[in-house]
Amino acid sequence: MDSLRSHIEAGGWPVGTRIPPEQALVEELGVGRSTLREALGALVHLGLLEARVGDGTYVRASSELQSVMVRRASSAQRNNVLELRTVLEEYASGAAALRRSEDHLRQLKELLADADAACAGEDRAAATRVDALFHRAVVRASGNDLLIEVYDCLGTALASALGGLPWDAADAEEHAGLHRRLVDAIEARDESGARAAAAAIVQLTRDHEPEAPRAAEEP
């Protein structure tokens, strides 16, 4: 089990991918089929793997910490997830403005360009993926290793909070403008400006949350 877990944690099988079939793993690892099944079952129990009947086994999380935190965040109310995102990203953005390197800044600008291209092509799924990469890059620029680890563990749940929101062209442009404002503040080493831009990005998302359905009135 340790070799399988190490391979997952090292990114050998990224989250969301299907691991090799059982026979291939038996041959690669040089273990018996029963030993392999026991190890796979343990990793499923820990939440690192997910067995899908008739489809194989997929990587669900890269670590036990990620498994626990993503499961908890995914079961929380969307508004609570957005509040948590505000806390993490606002602090991280301010820290990034103070500690970012030229490499961090270059990566952020490249991701901005990728996001603009995705929006121009009206590919909402691609735009969401780039947005998640952008915010992870901001957090990494903070230089806080523990914050980076926690944010990476929650990345899937935090990114999912953006999915399915009713964005129109004006909303998308405002969203892009706030991201440019954030990068400008980080480049200028403007801590308060970066924190304000990060908070505004999450607030825009919260403003577009669909209203909860009203309970049916009693006859």
pLDDT of residue 209: 61
- Which regions of the chain are under pLDDT 50? 161, 212-219
pLDDT of residue 28: 86
What is the 8-class DSSP label of residue 50? E
pLDDT of residue 99: 97
pLDDT in tens, 148-201: 988 887 776 666 545 555 567 777 788 889 999 999 999 999 999 999 999 998
In 3D, which of 162, 193, 200 has the Cα closest to residue 178? 200
pTM of this prediction exceeds 0.75 = no
User: In sequence order, which ranges of the chain are alpha helices (DSSP H)?
Assistant: 2-9, 22-29, 33-46, 64-74, 78-99, 102-120, 124-141, 145-160, 169-187, 191-207
pLDDT of residue 212: 47
Q: What percent of the chain has pLDDT over 70?
A: 87
pLDDT of residue 157: 60
